[in-house]
Amino acid sequence: MDEYAGLILAGYFSILAVLCIFGAHRLILTRLFRKNVVWEPEPEQRFDDLPLVTLQIPVFNEKLVVERIIDACAAIEYPRDKFQIQVVDDSTDETRALAAAKCAEWAARGLDIEHIHRTNRVGFKAGGLDNAMRGAKGELIAIFDADFLPPTDFLHRSIHFFADEAVGMVQTRWDHLNRDYSTLTQVQSIMLDAHFAIEHATRSFSNLFFNFNGTAGIWRRATIDDAGGWHHDTLTEDLDLSYRAQLKGWRFRFLPNVVCPAELPIETSAFKSQQHRWAKGSIQVMLKSLGNIWRGKVPLAVKMEATFHLTGNLAYVLMMINTLFLVIPSMVVRGHWDWWQIILIDGPVFTLASLSFIWFYMASQRAVFGTAKGRRRYIPALMSIGLGLGLNNTRAVLEALAGQQSEFVRTPKTGSVGTNAVAPKKTYRLPKGGWGLFEFAIGLMYTAAIIWAITEGVWGSIPFLMLFQNGFLFIGGMTIWESWQQHRARRSLAKELPAGT
């Protein structure tokens, strides 16, 4: 028995030690943020003659938002003789007609705008963008996804950074149209705020590699061509192109003060699908690019940061090993330990693995809002939902490592602003929720563990166990609920349709 106990604790703490390394990395990023980031950067030089810009809007079945994004992009302030818009449309529903009509409306008003519709989705978003490049006139290519609302001064505030001919891409910061919709959107907004305000800003101003996020940014066309163009062998074509371009020597700039708001997924299933795509795509890029990065002639600091960036989702696999096989057994094994023994060993681990997590995300809220006050109440939900994503993102990582290809699954757009939205189950089909049963079962397993801890008086473990319990019960339960609601909506629709439809 002692031998098995030793193996359990050795495995448990070995995995926590690796997770602590990722935690320490978050602390380093936060420190570099405070040291290096300039929140209001200014271009070192400006264009005397503004360059021609092509703005591309990739869409696929976006009927609720496609007219809004076209209007918003058409309203951007820029000389009309140097501004082109391409609506890159792969839609199979009424989005196609809506986009075509809106493009015709703006063309009649003198705007150089083109509706490009493909009859297939070869290469998905990357394939559509690559296809549209043939008709793109601009030396600079701006890209906006359908759920964004770019500010009218977007180009004037960002274009002059390309006066430096070494700059190949400029990324702006995302904001969130529906941050206040629910606890889920609040948690997502904090996650993305940290990605942009801390990670991107720190990497950019510390001369480290960072990536274009697929939207709300501008590319120099020569950079895309020099890096080999858009590839569609990964689910994150933006991340892939970013690393290829930076390895070619192009510089990227991040503008934290230029903000482009967008919609967050309001359904748990849509959120999980988006996270799955991002996690899987990042591992695919890791497999494709990490060797080239380490063989490349770039500083060691760049190589190390790129490694942390691209391997970050591997932590989900380690976390799930602990979640499924080691957390509860280790609690049972240590049930007889004195409180001071637990604090002595768990204290440093908790500090690096958990407090670093909290500090990192709250630092992003201070950066964005000037204070974390009012945001701290979301810490338990943030930690629980982060844990609850473990199974979903572990699946994504394992699929990527196994070389399993999958379709680019779009995130349903609802036109959500503030606390209002059209329910996606009434518009677009969400991913199936079969894995929700497994996630919910994990939550029940931790509920049983909490009951055991109460009966045995192992009080110190209960708050930790509750994070797992709440995270998996929420993610699993909401996935099951949304799947059932969607099934009911489809059955109701079927009854309303005429026979034979």
Q: Which residues have a catalytic role annotated?
A: 90, 238
* 305-344 core/surface letters (b: 16 or more CB in 10 A; e: else): bbebbbebbbbbbbbbbbbeebbbbbbbbbeeeeeeeeee
DSSP 373: T
**What end-to-end distance do the CA atoms of the chain give, in Å?**
65
Structure token pair of residue 7: 């193996």
| β-strand pairing of 112-117 with 140-143 | unpaired
d(CA 271, CA 412): 9
Phi then psi for residue 282, to 5 deg, are -65, -35
Phi then psi for residue 368, to 5 deg, are -80, -45
Structure token pair of residue 157: 């505030």
d(CA 430, CA 33): 37
Whole-number CA gyration radius for the chain:
24
Structure token pair of residue 2: 């002692």
| β-strand pairing of 53-59 with 83-89 | parallel
| Dihedral in degrees, nearest 10, Cα atoms 473, 27, 325, 402 | 90
**Nearest partner of 313 among 269, 352, 280, judged by Cα:** 280
What is the three-state SS of 68-126?
A: HHHHHHHCCCCCHHHEEEEEEECCCCCHHHHHHHHHHHHHHCCCEEEEEECCCCCCHHH
462-496 and 435-456 are packed helices; what angle lies between their axes, rounded to 10 degrees? 150
For residue 372, give the 3-state DSSP assignment: coil
The H or E element containing residue 170 is: strand 167-176
Phi then psi for residue 197, to 5 deg, are -70, -35
10, 19, 465, 469 from 333: Cα distances, Å = 12, 21, 15, 20
75, 204, 416 from 141: Cα distances, Å = 17, 20, 27
* 94-125 core/surface letters (b: 16 or more CB in 10 A; e: else): ebbebbeebbeebeeeebbbbbbebeebebbb
Q: Is 251 left (phi over 0), alpha (psi -120 to 50) or beta?
A: beta
